[in-house]
Amino acid sequence: MARPGRLGVGIIGAGKVGAVLGAALRAAEHAVVGVSAVSEASRERAETLLPGVPILEIQEIVERSELVLLAVPDDSLGELVSGLAALGAWQPGQLVAHTSGRFGVGILNPVRGAGAIPLALHPAMTFTGMSLDLTRLMDCTFGVTADAAMLPIAQALVVEMGAEPVAIAEADRTLYHAALAHSSNHMVTLVAQASQLLREIGVDAPESMLGPLLRATLENALASGEAALTGPVARGDVGTVSAHAQALREYDGGAGGDILAAYQAMARATARRAGNRGLLRPEQLTEIGEALEAEPDAPKGN
């Protein structure tokens, strides 16, 4: 016997997020009635995660669905929504949810104008587009935004997918998304840079060296916040910071320059935050700033 309140769900965009969330909704006994997939990779992903679900044109998916999940790139979302509105595709009472972190429900105003119900459901998780992501949802939160009367619907859908909903105000969506992107995306860049340096000096498996350190650092930071901060910047070890900057300046001379710039930016930010917590004296902050910018002394002529 079917559970009450089950919906016919249409997935627009069989990327890594759309296919996984579609599979999660299907596991909650909602019926996925159609999925859009253009590339060969998205078609294969749809066949793997949503077997038996027909691949349909976007307008046909909207016509068939009680819940439409828009899992498309941020820059495509507004044009897609307004284009479907111009075609008269949206239906009164239909639920329309997007998965963008940047936007709330304002971008879905054309949906509201047609009498449909806009929801923003963004998973705070990185996806591979494979079935293991379904397990990751169990330890995941979603940033949800909706009109006050509709917020319980958004929250219930997230809970059904096995995740935890966290309400984000419409005006705060961009900062919310910036926080997630700053932490997750830039972590990948920092790890890639550190791995590159270790490989260059002959470390065959940088991941084996970095893995335990980074896992412990992340756990400590999540548990203790900035109280977990260690290292030469937080200690005011100006000589070490200066040596790091000089070594990276020499290395980056032939490697594009991004590692030194990242080290300088993060060291400055770390110093400011350490200073605000009283870990560094004002003169130490000044000395660290000077050490980060100091160019090596030019060789003297004969």
Residue 217: give its domain's CATH number: 1.10.1040
Model-wide pTM > 0.85:
yes
For β-strands 8-12 and 31-36, DSSP reports them as parallel
Exposed (0-12), middle (13-18) or buried (19+): which is 203, by Cβ within 10 Å?
Answer: middle
The last residue of one of the domains, among 168, 202, 236, is 168
Identify whether residues 148 and 225 lie together within a single domain: no
Give pLDDT tens digits for 24-49. 999 999 999 999 998 999 999 999 99
pLDDT score of 3: 63
Mean pLDDT of all residues in 218-222: 95
Which range of residues forms the domain containing residue 216? 176-293
**Domain stops at, among 168, 184, 216:** 168
Q: pLDDT tens digits for 231-264?
A: 999 999 999 999 999 999 999 875 567 999 999 9
- On whether residue 152 sits in a domain, the answer given is yes
Last residue of a domain, one of 168, 203, 228: 168
Average pLDDT, the chain: 93
Asked if residue 228 and residue 141 are part of one domain, the reply reads no
Count the domains in the chain.
2
17 and 122 in a single domain? The answer is yes
| 232 contacts 241 by C-beta, under 8 angstroms | yes
Residue 140 domain-assigned (yes or no): yes
